[in-house]
A = this chain, B = another copy of it.
Amino acid sequence: MTKTGTPALPGEPGQLAPAAARALFRAGLVSPTAGWSRGFAQANLIIVPKALAFDVLLFAQRNPKPCPILGVLDAGETSGPLLAGGDIRTDVPRYTVYENGTMVAEPVDISGYWREDLVTFIVGCSFTFEAALQDGGISIAHIDQGVNVPMYRSSIRCAPAGSISGPMVVSMRPVPASQVADAVRITSRYPAVHGAPVHVGNPAEIGIADLGRPDFGDPVSIPTGHLPVFWACGVTPQAAIMESRPALAIGHAPGHMLITDARDSRYLVP
């Protein structure tokens, strides 16, 4: 299956059913997915050969804040309940391909890379709790500013697992001092999509020298009276791939997520 042509966007992306959004990407549309299919969980992707799958799943188990697993497709499987009728090789708008830890391509379709031994991990994404933050009266700077969320390689080390190790990648959202407690309270109820923040207020302490120069995504301006609040980020597995250098791994391009059929509310606890 390969993508041909570029379909037009039928109406407002926020109103699209997940299957309809995936069909558009499958047909060739390329777009960041922020704001798409509102109410449905979007997800990070990490795809590795079966020989590496235990290490990756154990890495996720040991680092549940950056790597909350929503689903796993068995070796060779290209669809599953989180993307009913879909195809993991084509339904994400843009992918990243790593060989020996180096990104070698950013294709819009990975059919040409597919192998029967590839295992797909579907990892929770903070887009789910961003909707809850907005519902709680907390504005999201990167949405308001129309850019991708800023993400940073922190100095926090993940717990290693077998051949996989790496730094925790964190996303940052500026929050008014008066709303920091609310932001913690609201996001802590979504452990399956990164949960509570990992750090509040002092970027230098987690190895971030310059908030204006994120490692992934775009910088956002921080209004006076706002604190930078850091959440564990689903790009962490890709940073671990870069450090651990397996022969092959495939991810999603940051901000270009898998739109799943799971409602955000499924991940709300208690």
Contacts and interface: CB of A to CB of B under 8 A. Distances in A.
A195 B72 CA distance: 22
A264 to B, nearest CB: 16
Interface in A29-75: 50, 53-54, 57-58, 61-62, 69, 72, 74
A244 to B, nearest CB: 16
Most chain B Cβ neighbours within 10 Å, of A54, A58, A69? A54
A53 B188 CA distance: 30
Contacts of A188: 269-270
| Copy total for this chain | 2
Interface in A134-190: 162, 185, 188-189
A19 B69 CA distance: 32
Interface residues of A, number: 19
Contacts of A74: 162
Contact of A270 (B50, B54, B69, B270): B270
Interface in A203-235: none
A188 B188 CA distance: 14
Contacts of A72: 58, 61-62
23 contacts: A50-B54, A53-B54, A54-B54, A54-B57, A57-B57, A57-B58, A57-B61, A58-B72, A61-B61, A61-B69, A61-B72, A62-B72, A185-B270, A188-B270, A189-B269, A189-B270, A191-B191, A191-B269, A191-B270, A195-B270, A269-B269, A269-B270, A270-B270
